[in-house]
Structure 1
Amino acid sequence: MPRLPLPQRSLTYPEVGATARRPLPPGYEHLEAQAVLGRGERVFRDASERLSTWQLHRGAGLRVRASTPRAEQGSVVLLQWGRLFRAPCRVVEVELGLRLVGFAYGTLQGHPERGEERFAIEWRDDDAVLLTIAAFSRPATWWARLGAPVSRLVQRHLTGRYLRAL
């Protein structure tokens, strides 16, 4: 059976949008991380622009092929790391506030995991600008289940790279 084009693939989990709420859904591995990027409006605007245009992902060493130049509701993105890791995702939520900018994407058929990841840039009242990442995931394939400990290490490694990319 031929593989579906990315835009036609379905999300692989039912809890769409759950990274915006706490607690994260049960039955998944959870990941939450945060970094202070600096202070003030200029830092917030620069970081928001870089996040929205996939530069956070590129800066972390991923190859990004996206259906839109900016993360938009419904955008489809194929993230690649090295030759083996291919991760098709769809943007399921976008936030464009005065002091909060972010998006979440969910896994599509063909992704080795099932779940969602959210990236948010927040300009707090104390003038600090933070990058927050929240994710829930579990293996979607037999080989991902077999390599689950390695997958967790890779996810944590990539999260660290994201936090340093902006």
Structure 2
Amino acid sequence: MLNYDVVGATQPADPEWASRRQDGYRDFERTVRLGEGDAYWATTSSILLRWGVKTRSGFTVDPQPTTVVEAGQKYQLTAHLGPLRVREPVQIVAVADEPDRRGFAYGTAHGHPVSGEEAFVLHREADGSVHLTLRSLTRAPQGLWRLAFPAALLLQPAYRRRYARALVE
């Protein structure tokens, strides 16, 4: 069961993020250029839709993806922080699969150290350049993880930098 109330709010299918501000959530959006060309687009899209942005950033995904993500699928992400392992239950809440826009959003489930949603979206421009947009809405969860939320906020920028580099050509 998801642990937040704005399911789908990161809107991965939409080029413009219409409703960024949600009560009590911290929002984030950043777009980076990754590479260019049809071959790069095809390869990077396939990698992204099989959790490559997370696995290439140091996370383990269970069950290990063998197909592209689909709305409703549930996963257990594991963040590796030195000797610590932090389990993060998530569910795919939205998928974008258009000729020039592909990506997905996952929502956090009970037991996740934060509450909210994160989206990873590739989009291809008319000049052939490929970009990655990261979007997230986060707030402190209920329960004991609430005490660790300040530490999670400190780690977010480092992981976002990893995500931005994970698919670079």
Q: TM-score range by the shorter chain?
A: 0.7 to 0.9
Q: Measure, in 2, the Cα distance between the counterparts of 1:160 and 1:67.
A: 23
Partner of 1:81: 79
Amino acid at match of 1:109: H
In the other structure, the counterpart of 2:137 is: 136
Partner of 1:15: 6
Distance in 2 (CA, whole Å) between partners of 1:122 and 1:76 is: 25
CA distance in 2, matches of 1:155, 1:101: 23
Q: 2:57 — aligned with what?
A: 60
Find runs of 4+ consecutive structure 1 residues off by over 6 angstroms: none
Match of 1:38 in 2: 35
One-letter amino acid of the counterpart of residue 25, structure 2: Y
Runs (5+) with no aligned partner, structure 1: 1-9
CA distance in 2, matches of 1:154, 1:40: 33
Give the secondary-structure state (helix, strand or coil) at the position aligned to 2:111: coil
Equivalent residue letter for 2:163: Y
Contact 1:56 1:165 in 2 (8 A): yes
* Distance apart, 1:67 and its partner CA: 7.0
Q: Structure 2 unaligned segments of length 5 or more: list them.
A: 12-16
Q: How far, CA to CA, are the matches of 1:125 and 1:139 in structure 2?
A: 39
Normalised to the residue count of structure 1, the TM-score between the two structures is 0.87
Cα distance change, pair 71–145 in 1 and its aligned pair in 2 (3 A): same
Partner of 1:162: 163
Q: How many residue pairs end up in the alignment?
A: 157
User: RMSD over aligned Cα, in angstroms?
Assistant: 1.6
Check conservation: 2:58, 2:79, Cα contact below 8 A.
yes
Contact conserved, 1:112 with 1:141, CA < 8 A, in 2? no
- AA aligned to 2:33 is V
More helix by share: 1
Aligned to 1:7: none
Residues 58/107 of structure 1: CA separation in 2 closer, same or farther (3 Å cut):
same
